[in-house]
Each structure stands twice: as structure tokens, then as C-alpha cells.
Amino acid sequence: MSRYEVRIGGFGGQGVVTMAVVVGETASLYDKKYVVQTQSYGPEARGGASKSEIVISDEEVDYPKVQAPDVFVVLSRAAYLEYIDGLKENGTLILDEDLVEVEGKLPKGVKVYKIPATRIADKDVGNKQATNVVMLGAFAVITKALSIEGLKARIEERWPRFLKSNLLALELGMKAGEEALAQDA
């Protein structure tokens, strides 16, 4: 992996920035990669479209902005419409199937993985706020951009009070990611 670009989009309050920070910390602290993370919010912040981006590389990152994401993880329709442009040909689109539908024409060869993240967080974890952790699990399994051990360790360190529910959310997200991969095979 010389340079791997990740865009995460959703509405403010879904944990989009937190997801990106956890991806970046995991890649940097556990997987020993170079990482740059940036974020931007819509004018409404909470409730408006927001995005966070991560560049992961084996070498020092010379340009911190994501130019053409290899993967776009999207948690809201507004963020999809706002930030889908630029996704690479043969890229990866991971979406929350209860909140986002593919609209318009995608670049050639884009693989789409639909994850019922909000539903899993709400029904199986018992907390909608765990949606971002469900998506982290799916992201890790689908992209193989992060080590699962590193991601688990990072979650344990970051949220010790919510460890049981977050590890459950991560496991269920990984399972949903595996099921999405199997459908693609």
C-alpha cells in the first residue's frame, strides 16, 4: 500500500470524524503506517453533511488532502450526494443500506457493499450511536486496510466504559462485512 485514500461521509453527530480518527490511530499506532486525517463540516454541523478523510501510506505523506478516494464509507444520503464525486475507478463504496441508496452513475468498476449498520447498532447492539463502530468493522474486513487486532486494541483504549457494546458492534460489523464480501464473490 503506497498511498491509500479513505473518505468517510455522513451527517454531523454520526461519529464520522471519530471513525476517521480511529482509523488513523489504528493505522499509525498499531500498523506502523504514515497517516494524515482531515475533516470538514457543512454549515449546519450537527445534522448537515460532514466528511472526514484519511491518507494511509507506507511512506511519509507529502500531500495531506484526499484527491481520489480508494474507498468511500457513507452514512447519509446528503453526504453521498455531496461527496461521491472523485471516487476512483475500481474503488470501493461502503454504505449504510438503510440510509443511502446508490444514485447516479458510479465510476467504472466501483464495488458497492451494503451494510445494515444503523439497524445492527439499534437492534443487535441496542445503541444507534454504535453505528460508526459497526461500519468500522465492515470497513476493516472489506478493505483489509487495518489490522483487526489493532482496531480492537484502539477501541478498548478509546472507550473503556463502553467496551462490551463497542466490541459487539465491531464484531457484528465485521460479520456484516464478511457477508457483503461473500455476496460479491
Q: Comparing 36-40, 54-58, 161-165, which segment has the lowest mean pLDDT?
A: 36-40
Q: Comparing 13-17, 28-32, 146-150, 171-175, which segment has the lowest mean pLDDT?
A: 13-17
| 129-145: pLDDT as tens digits | 999 999 999 999 999 99
Residues β-bridged to residue 74: 9, 95
b/e map of 117-148 (b: 16 or more CB within 10 Å)? bbbbbbebbeeebbbbbbbbbbbbbbbebbbe
CATH of the domain at 47: 3.40.920.10
Nearest of 125, 57, 122, 135 to residue 94 by alpha carbon: 135
- Interatomic CA distance for residues 42 and 139, integer angstroms: 24
Question: 104, exposed or middle or buried, with CB in 10 Å at 0-12, 13-18, 19+?
Answer: exposed
Could you tell me whether strands 49-57 and 3-11 are parallel, antiparallel, or unpaired per DSSP bridges?
A: antiparallel
CB distance 138 to 179 below 8 Å: no
| 98-114: pLDDT as tens digits | 999 999 999 999 999 99
* Confidence (pTM): 0.94
CA distances from 180 to 48, 78, 92, 132 (A): 28, 23, 12, 17
- Interatomic CA distance for residues 173 and 56, integer angstroms: 22
The total of structural domains in the chain comes to 1
Residue 96's pLDDT band (boundaries 50, 70, 90)? very high
- Interatomic CA distance for residues 77 and 33, integer angstroms: 31
164 pLDDT above the threshold of 70: yes
Segment (H or E) for 57: strand 49-57
CB distance 20 to 52 below 8 Å: yes
- Domain with 89, as residue range(s), is 3-184
pLDDT for 12 equals 80
